């Protein structure tokens, strides 16, 4: 096993308001068994040794589930390895002497906060618009009283595996968030518990997505290829169907109270 020396081009941007640029750095002595983020840790140690401020990047669990890490690596979200987040991408996938380009997710709805770190609050707003089943704690019937066919539960789980990282948006030539929103909807709409609010939820979440300034889907399916959890484009199809149905048939909420004496 030999250590690698690399040239890493990193997007440096002081804060949301300042302009940024790609800056090349040499990184030396990187083990092939190190993860990509550990390579950035090494870069940061080497930068600080020279008195330069380290590169800011988002990360937390480093085991591919929290969805905090992002990074466009050599033009691919999370580096382009199948079903892999940046934190689980390992340096054995790169060659000694390679030039690596590292950029933040690019989308108007994901403004850069600093360097490689972006603000994904727009995803929060979409989920707040309807990504839930309106049931209060304490009101649940016995869990086995509503049987759910395994096939449905599996389908829900396939969609619910979304980690909310934003790779779909980053990959989409149009900066669209439809795989993300579709996954959220497909999760709940594959289950009986999600049916009561299906129409309202679809409309509310799609409207929130549009309001956040994401692009439109033109069926390139880059999102599906980039998704580290391999979520299928089928979720977008389902959302499209639900949305047109809800738009033309769903009755708006009346706003009338249930009050009584």
Partner 1 sequence: MSWFQRYMRSSIGAKQVMAVTGLGMVLFALIHMTGHLQMFGGRDMYNGYAHFLQHLEVKWVARLGLIAIVVIHIFTAISLVMKNRAARPVAYAMYKPVASTPMSRYMAMTGLVILAFIIYHLLHFTIGTVQPQYFHMLDDKGRYDAYSMFVRGFQNVGIFASYAVAVFMLCMHLGHGASSWIQSLGWRHPKYGTDKLGPILGIVLFLGYIAPPTAVLIGMIKLPGA
Partner 2 sequence: MDLNAKIPDGPIEQKWENAKFNYKLVNPANKRKYKVIVVGSGLAGGAAAATLAELGYQVSCFCFQDSPRRAHSIAAQGGINAAKNYQNDGDSVHRLFYDTVKGGDFRAREANVHRLAEVSVNIIDQCAAMGVPFAREYGGTLANRSFGGAQVSRTFYARGQTGQQLLLGAYAGLNRQIAAGKVKMFTRTEMLDIVLEDGKAVGIVVRDLVTGKIESHAAHAVVMATGGYGNVFYLSTNAKGCNVTATYRAYKKGAGFGNPCFTQIHPTCIPVSGDYQSKLTLMSESLRNDGRVWVPKNKADIAKRPDTIPDEDRDYYLERKYPSYGNLSPRDIASRAAKEQCDDGRGVGPGGRGVYLDFRDAIKRDGEDKVREKYGNLFDMYERITGENPYKVPMRIYPAVHYTMGGLWVDYNLQSTIPGLFVLGEANFSDHGANRLGASALMQGLADGYFVIPYTIGNYLANVNAAKLASTSNPAFKDAEADVKAGIDKLLAIKGKRTVDSFHKELGLIMWEYCGMARTKEGLAKAVGLIRELRAAFWQDLQVLGGADTFNQSLEKAGRLADLLEFAELMCKDASEREESCGGHFRVEYQQEGEALRNDDKFCHAAVWEYKGPDAEPVRHIEPLTFENVHLATRSYK
Q: How far is the CB of 103 from partner 1 (least distance, A)?
A: 6
Residue 96 touches which of partner 2, partner 1, none (Cβ within 5-8 Å per kind): none
List all residues 6 or more positions away from 15 whose beta carbon is below 8 Å from its beta carbon: 113, 114
Q: How far is the CB of 73 from partner 1 (least distance, A)?
A: 9
Q: How far is the CB of 17 from partner 2 (least distance, A)?
A: 12
- For the record, the structure tokens of 185 come out as 């909807």
Which is closer to partner 2, CB of 2 or CB of 248?
Answer: 2
- For the record, the structure tokens of 65 come out as 């589930």
DSSP-based three-state secondary structure for 16: coil
Three-point CA angle 156, 136, 65, nearest 5°: 40
End-to-end CA distance of the chain: 78
Q: How far is the CB of 201 from partner 1 (least distance, A)?
A: 14
Which is closer to partner 2, CB of 195 or CB of 218?
Answer: 195
Which is closer to partner 1, CB of 19 or CB of 138?
Answer: 19
Report the C-alpha gap between 77 and 79 in whole angstroms: 5
In the complex, the residues that contact partner 1 under the rule CB under 8 A are 9, 11, 22, 72, 74-76, 80, 101, 103, 106-109, 171, 173-176, 178, 206-207, 209-210, 213-222, 224-225, 233-234, 236-244, 247-248, 252
Residue 107 touches which of partner 1, partner 2, none (Cβ within 5-8 Å per kind): partner 1
Report the C-alpha gap between 223 and 221 in whole angstroms: 5
Which is closer to partner 1, CB of 141 or CB of 255?
Answer: 255
Residue 168 touches which of partner 1, partner 2, none (Cβ within 5-8 Å per kind): none
DSSP-based three-state secondary structure for 213: coil
Which is closer to partner 2, CB of 98 or CB of 197?
Answer: 197
- Report which secondary-structure segment, H or E, holds 3: none
Residue 66 touches which of partner 2, partner 1, none (Cβ within 5-8 Å per kind): partner 2
Please say whether the beta carbons of 9 and 24 come within 8 A: yes
Residue 261 touches which of partner 2, partner 1, none (Cβ within 5-8 Å per kind): none
List all residues 6 or more positions away from 258 whose beta carbon is below 8 Å from its beta carbon: none
- For the record, the structure tokens of 178 come out as 């439809």
Residue 188 touches which of partner 2, partner 1, none (Cβ within 5-8 Å per kind): partner 2
Q: How far is the CB of 171 from partner 2 (least distance, A)?
A: 19
Residue 68 touches which of partner 1, partner 2, none (Cβ within 5-8 Å per kind): partner 2
Q: How far is the CB of 123 from partner 1 (least distance, A)?
A: 14
Half-sphere exposure of 6 (CA within 13 A, CB side): 28
DSSP label at residue 222: H
Between strands 99-103 and 4-13, the pairing is parallel
Q: How far is the CB of 61 from partner 1 (least distance, A)?
A: 26
């Amino acid at each position: 096993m030999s250590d690698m020396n690399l040239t890493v081009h990193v997007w440096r941007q002081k804060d949301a308001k300042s302009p940024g640029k790609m800056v090349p750095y040499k990184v030396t002595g990187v083990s092939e068994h190190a993860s990509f983020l550990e390579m950035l840790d090494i870069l940061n140690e080497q930068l600080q040794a020279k008195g330069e401020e380290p590169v800011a990047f988002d990360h937390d669990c480093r085991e591919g589930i929290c969805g905090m890490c992002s990074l466009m690596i050599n033009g691919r979200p999370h580096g382009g390895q199948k079903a892999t987040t940046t934190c689980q991408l390992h340096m054995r996938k790169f060659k000694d002497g390679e030039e690596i380009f590292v950029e933040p997710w690019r989308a108007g709805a994901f403004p850069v906060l600093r360097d490689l770190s972006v603000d994904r609050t727009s995803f929060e707003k979409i989920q707040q618009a309807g990504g839930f089943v309106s049931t209060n704690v304490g009101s649940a019937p016995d869990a086995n009283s509503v049987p759910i066919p395994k096939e449905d539960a599996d389908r829900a789980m396939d969609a619910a595996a979304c980690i909310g990282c934003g790779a779909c948006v980053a990959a989409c030539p149009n900066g669209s968030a439809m795989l993300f929103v579709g996954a959220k909807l497909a999760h709940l709409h594959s289950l009986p518990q999600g049916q009561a609010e299906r129409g309202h939820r679809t409309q509310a979440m799609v409207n929130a997505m549009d309001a956040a300034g994401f692009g439109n889907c033109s069926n390139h399916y880059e999102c599906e290829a980039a998704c580290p959890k391999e979520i299928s484009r089928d979720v977008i199809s389902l959302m499209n169907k639900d949305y047109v149905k809800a738009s033309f048939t769903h009755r708006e909420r009346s706003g009338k109270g249930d009050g009584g004496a």
